[in-house]
Amino acid sequence: MRTLAAEIARHTGEEVELSGWVHRIRDLGKVSFVILRDRSGEAQIVLDRKPDFTHESVITVKGLVAPSEKAPGGVEVRAAEITVLAAADPQLPIPVNQDPAKLSLEALLDNRYISLRIPKLRRIFELQAAILRHFADFLRSEGFTEIKTSKLIGTGTEGGTGLFQVEYFDTKVYLAQSPQFYKQAMIASGMERVFEIGDAYRAEKHETPRHLNEYVSLDVEMAFIESEGDLMDLERRILAYVFAKLAEQNGEILELWGASVPTAEEVGRIPLVSHDEAREIVSERLGRKVFEINPEGERVLCDWAKERHGIEAAFINAYPRKMRPFYTYPLDSKTMSFDLLFRGLEVTTGGRRINEYPMLLDALPRFGLTLEGLGDYPTIFKYGCPPHGGFAIGLERLTQKILGLANVKETSLFPRDRHRIRP
Amino acid sequence: MRTLAAEIARHTGEEVELSGWVHRIRDLGKVSFVILRDRSGEAQIVLDRKPDFTHESVITVKGLVAPSEKAPGGVEVRAAEITVLAAADPQLPIPVNQDPAKLSLEALLDNRYISLRIPKLRRIFELQAAILRHFADFLRSEGFTEIKTSKLIGTGTEGGTGLFQVEYFDTKVYLAQSPQFYKQAMIASGMERVFEIGDAYRAEKHETPRHLNEYVSLDVEMAFIESEGDLMDLERRILAYVFAKLAEQNGEILELWGASVPTAEEVGRIPLVSHDEAREIVSERLGRKVFEINPEGERVLCDWAKERHGIEAAFINAYPRKMRPFYTYPLDSKTMSFDLLFRGLEVTTGGRRINEYPMLLDALPRFGLTLEGLGDYPTIFKYGCPPHGGFAIGLERLTQKILGLANVKETSLFPRDRHRIRP
């Protein structure tokens, strides 16, 4: 019966069996200290001999748990029997028991199978798993249904550029950039409130610390809204819930990274500025006129929000029509759309969508689109589609900003960029 | 303030506002009855005039809730004001308010945006969402971490056939058939217990009621197991939990489809037979010698299990080595692998994996593989990988068999087969 490393203090004076990786070896000749690492944490093992195994080998240790002032957690295991389950090559490509900040991101990603053993890096993904859980739990509590839609689409309906092409038997299809059309279809089908956690693909040649060519999109769509205001309210509730759960259950990971999450009260204070106002604020702070909010502008606006509202985040709405996709619901020359910036980075784009067929027909030529080019999409609006809208949160970007990481690639287990298709 | 159709009985004698789709119209001249459908159910509306809207239009109704013996639920809404939010074209491609059994599967899938409005069909996906939730909840309760891995792989490591090719900037990549290698990598990284809910792609030209070219795979991988027995035990616990939750919370959907789920006691009775025993049972029942368990054999074996053990399901283990992938842990000429058949269909494949580097080196030439051809995969085993194994449950097949549907495509919102890439 296996005991986890984090639980041995409860077994002081008892015989236990531990299994895990050899994290660190201190060989003092007649006695050796070994740190064993498992999914729960670390435990100190004492041997009355030289160890005959290498760093990172997988071992099973049987022994007595005894108090030890110097051991982490105040106890150690006096090894009576050690079995090597899987020996590790002594030439590790990168060290596992040192500060990962000393290694380049390239080295960490090239050696992903080993670098994820570094506890501090692995725990990024424990936090990410918690985000996935709480996002879904919250939406279910508000009557949303989880959907899974196809990522293979027959037509490049969002413009055609930026799509990866797939050889599909005797024809070509594309990897979906988002589940946008499908989640709208589910609104019209009567589910009314849906969410999807799925992969999204962007064939864009950028190489920046904020882009991935494949990422996980947390998509939400909701019927019977009046404006983008209902969507921003929903996102505030989602974030307040997720942040509260992380603070409550994952405080140790946040602390490890020197990070913290906003409180519900702070989320409530996230300011809303129109795109015009945002441009003015950024222009004034940069001392030159800006016409759109680029990455620098996103940082400037979050600094402004931190100073004025005590939270490093801002909603921007009322984007001009030409800056948003054709399906965005217009309001005069603007749109019922919004972005959320969080800690200097856009983490969400959303808005109310056009739901009336005549309005869609009017919008298409403005964007150089035709009904035919949109495939099945217009059908959604021909047979009764309620007012609706939604948004998408980038899972990796949210993880990055919660933990304060420099590059979004750190938050993807196996990131894909223009040059990286392995491991 | 909107009230849902399912809630109006609680508001008898009050003014309410309902929003939804016009499901059915009965025009008696001076008075009309309209069934309004929303995500919660249906409500009867009474108008003192001819309706000026079409079937499937989206309307908002304000009116008084009054008792009515003939109305579903015993109440109806006497409309004071009706607003048409989105008018539907009167020429619906398929009827929404009739029994879907009268329509062909092709018609339902071709007109997916409309057919999903048929309540009985839409509810398949409510049940599917519940499966997703309970699967994840159960695994989290046993210390599993949810992961998201790349679906774009650089090498066709599982053989190369059956892979869809993607144009990736200046190179070619493939859509992953399963997260097999990545979940094994996560075991070796020290997460020890992981699960992934993700898309899987098979470029196989089959056209059967049991195959999809894109499906959702419920993947599980677990370290420190001894044999496939530990995995079958885990799957029993998962299924018993999921079935119990569905019976408890989704009884109405099961009833609508005339379906039921096995009890925990019945899941405990699922027999385990070796591949050799399975062949004997099927051979005897068919009156001719069979060498593998094909779809007909799967049905025959489930019939046998139903008669002998009172549950239409069976685990098969000890498959011969040549019938399983190269990474399957061998045991003499057999393997530590298993399948689960449920109601006549294979819904799970799994097994213990090779975790020792020398054993992997020995296995490769038997399967015509080389270390180089496997890309980064062998690295997983070079630096200490514990004994482990896992399995994958096909979400659509499980949904199909729970509800007793004839074709797995009925359980995919937007199924992809050799000829179907739309909508």
The model's pLDDT over A304-328, given as tens digits with 9 standing for 90+, comes to: 999 999 999 999 999 999 999 999 9
A198 interaction partners in chain B (CB closer than 8 Å)? 199
Q: Quick one: tokens of B105? A: 């599967």
Contact A88 B383 (CB under 8 A): yes
A57 interaction partners in chain B (CB closer than 8 Å)? 384
Residue B418 touches partner A, C-beta closer than 8 Å: yes
CB of B43 within 8 A of CB of B5? Answer: yes
Q: Quick one: closest CA in A to B137, which residue?
A: A133
A128 interaction partners in chain B (CB closer than 8 Å)? 148
Q: Which residue in the set B85, B165, B375 is minimally distant from A386, CB to CB? A: B85
| Cα gap B214→B417, rounded to integer Å | 8
B155 interaction partners in chain A (CB closer than 8 Å)? 422
Residue B294 touches partner A, C-beta closer than 8 Å: no
Residue A259 touches partner B, C-beta closer than 8 Å: no
Give the relative orientation of helices B295-309 and B275-286 as an angle to the nearest 10 degrees.
Answer: 90
- Count interface pairs A-B at CB distance under 8 A: 244
Assessment of whether the complete model's pTM goes beyond 0.95: yes
B174 interaction partners in chain A (CB closer than 8 Å)? none
Residue B193 touches partner A, C-beta closer than 8 Å: yes
ipTM above 0.90 for this complex: yes
Helix (H) / strand (E) element for B195: namely strand B193-201
Q: Quick one: closest CA in A to B154, which residue?
A: A421
Write out pLDDT tens, residues B19-51: 999 999 999 989 999 999 999 999 999 999 999
Query: In this structure, is the dihedral angle defined by the CA atoms of residues A90, A96, A101 and A104, taken in order, positive or negative?
Result: positive
pLDDT recorded at residue B207:
85
B38 interaction partners in chain A (CB closer than 8 Å)? 190, 192
Q: Quick one: tokens of A75? A: 């106890």
Residue B85 touches partner A, C-beta closer than 8 Å: yes
3-state class (DSSP) for residue A165: strand
DSSP assignment string, B171-192: EEEEE-S-SHHHHHHHIIIII-
Contact A150 B375 (CB under 8 A): no
pLDDT recorded at residue B413:
98
Contact A38 B133 (CB under 8 A): no
Contact B169 A140 (CB under 8 A): no
CB of B19 within 8 A of CB of A386? Answer: yes
| Cα gap A322→A367, rounded to integer Å | 8
Residue A421 touches partner B, C-beta closer than 8 Å: yes
B203 interaction partners in chain A (CB closer than 8 Å)? 168-169
Q: Which domains does chain A have, with CATH numbers?
A: 5-86 (2.40.50.140), 113-411 (3.30.930.10)
| Cα gap B270→B236, rounded to integer Å | 9
Residues 300-339 of B with CB under 8 A from A: none
Contact A383 B39 (CB under 8 A): no
Write out pLDDT tens, residues A19-77: 999 999 999 989 999 999 999 999 999 999 999 999 999 999 999 999 999 898 899 99
Contact B224 A192 (CB under 8 A): no
Q: Is the pLDDT of residue A206 over 90?
A: no
pLDDT recorded at residue A73:
87
Contacts of A299 (CB under 8 A, 6+ apart): A344
A186 interaction partners in chain B (CB closer than 8 Å)? 116, 413
Residues 47-66 of A with CB under 8 A from B: 56-58
Give the relative orientation of helices A228-249 and A119-141 as an angle to the nearest 10 degrees.
Answer: 130
- In order along its 423 residues, chain B shows pLDDT tens digits of 899 999 999 999 999 999 999 999 999 989 999 999 999 999 999 999 999 999 999 999 999 999 999 898 899 999 999 999 999 999 999 999 999 999 999 999 999 999 999 999 999 999 999 999 999 999 999 999 999 999 999 875 555 578 999 999 999 999 999 999 999 999 999 999 999 999 999 999 888 999 999 999 999 999 999 999 999 999 999 999 999 999 999 999 999 999 999 999 999 999 999 999 999 999 999 999 999 999 999 999 999 999 999 999 999 999 999 999 999 999 999 999 999 999 999 999 999 999 999 999 999 999 999 998 898 999 999 999 999 999 999 999 999 999 999 999 999 999 999 999 989
Contact B205 A169 (CB under 8 A): yes
| Cα gap A18→A196, rounded to integer Å | 39
Shortest CA gap B124–chain A (Å): 11
Nearest residue to A79 (alpha-carbon basis) of A41, A38, A42, A51? A51
CB of A375 within 8 A of CB of A382? Answer: no
Contact A86 B112 (CB under 8 A): no
B146 interaction partners in chain A (CB closer than 8 Å)? 129, 132-133
Please name the residue ranges forming H helices in B341-406: 357-366, 379-382, 395-403
Residue B224 touches partner A, C-beta closer than 8 Å: yes
Write out pLDDT tens, residues A241-286: 999 999 999 999 999 999 999 999 999 999 999 999 999 999 999 9
A382 interaction partners in chain B (CB closer than 8 Å)? 88-89
Contact A122 B190 (CB under 8 A): yes
A225 interaction partners in chain B (CB closer than 8 Å)? none
| Cα gap B270→A236, rounded to integer Å | 47
Residues 121-140 of A with CB under 8 A from B: 122, 125-126, 128-129, 132-133, 136, 140
Q: Quick one: tokens of B15? A: 């003014």
